[in-house]
């Protein structure tokens, strides 16, 4: 439930939010391929509360 990934470029204003790791990774890879920029992906999925 509720996975969230924040892709951010450190060399231009490019950034995006994705709800799946594979989509975030492909966005990351395509920006790096196109620009050679340094892009990082943060897993910002909310931590599931333990009952």
Q: Which residues bind Zn ion (CB under 5 A)?
A: 9, 11-12, 14, 35, 37
CB of 46 to Zn ion, least distance (A): 27
Residue placing its CB nearer to Zn ion in the complex, 26 or 45: 26
| Ramachandran assignment for 11, one of left (phi > 0), alpha (psi -120 to 50 degrees), beta (any other) | alpha
36 conformational bin, left if phi > 0, alpha if psi -120 to 50, beta if neither: left
For residue 49, the minimal CB distance to Zn ion (Å) is 35
Query: What 3-state class would DSSP assign to 31?
Result: helix
Q: How far is the CB of 44 from Zn ion (least distance, A)?
A: 19
């Amino acid at each position: 439930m509720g996975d969230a990934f924040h892709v951010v470029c450190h060399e231009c204003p490019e950034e995006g939010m994705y709800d799946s790791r594979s989509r975030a990774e492909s966005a990351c890879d395509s920006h790096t391929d196109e620009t050679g920029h340094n892009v990082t992906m943060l897993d910002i999925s909310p931590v599931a509360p333990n009952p």
